[in-house]
């Protein structure tokens, strides 16, 4: 299996996790809110439970999106740290920074 074929499933899984999973959860939450008519009253009203579940799913979607966002920030920080380390190694070998002319 080539490297390109190996990256395609990973890219699809990342897209699913980063974008589609929170979006699907949010849409289901919005549907539940609409089905519940957005009501929030006493416990005798069965529609309020659906609305509450919809709000909870919206919060879950937000949490999933934020966890993915924080993970991407962490990965980006590690990549920048590795780039800086390679630049320092280059400076130690040559006596100049890689972006200097």
CA distance 97 to 87: 6
How many separate helices (H) and strands (E) can be counted in the chain? 3, 0
- List the domain boundaries for the chain: 3-94
pLDDT tens, position by position, 9-18? 688 888 888 8
Average pLDDT over residues 3-12: 65
Please determine, for residue 7, whether its predicted confidence score (pLDDT) is greater than 80.
Answer: no
| Predicted confidence (pLDDT) at residue 24 exceeds the cutoff of 90 | yes
| pLDDT score of 41 more than 70 | no
């Amino acid at each position: 299996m080539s490297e390109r074929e190996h990256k395609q499933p990973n890219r699809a899984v990342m897209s699913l996790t980063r974008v589609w999973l929170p979006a699907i959860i949010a849409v289901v939450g919005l549907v539940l809110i609409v089905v519940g008519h957005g009501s929030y009253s006493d416990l005798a009203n069965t529609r309020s439970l659906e609305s509450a579940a919809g709000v909870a799913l919206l919060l879950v979607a937000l949490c999933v999106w934020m966890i993915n966002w924080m993970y991407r920030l962490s990965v980006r920080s590690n990549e920048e740290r590795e780039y800086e380390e390679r630049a320092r190694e280059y400076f130690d070998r040559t006596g100049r920074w890689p972006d200097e002319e």
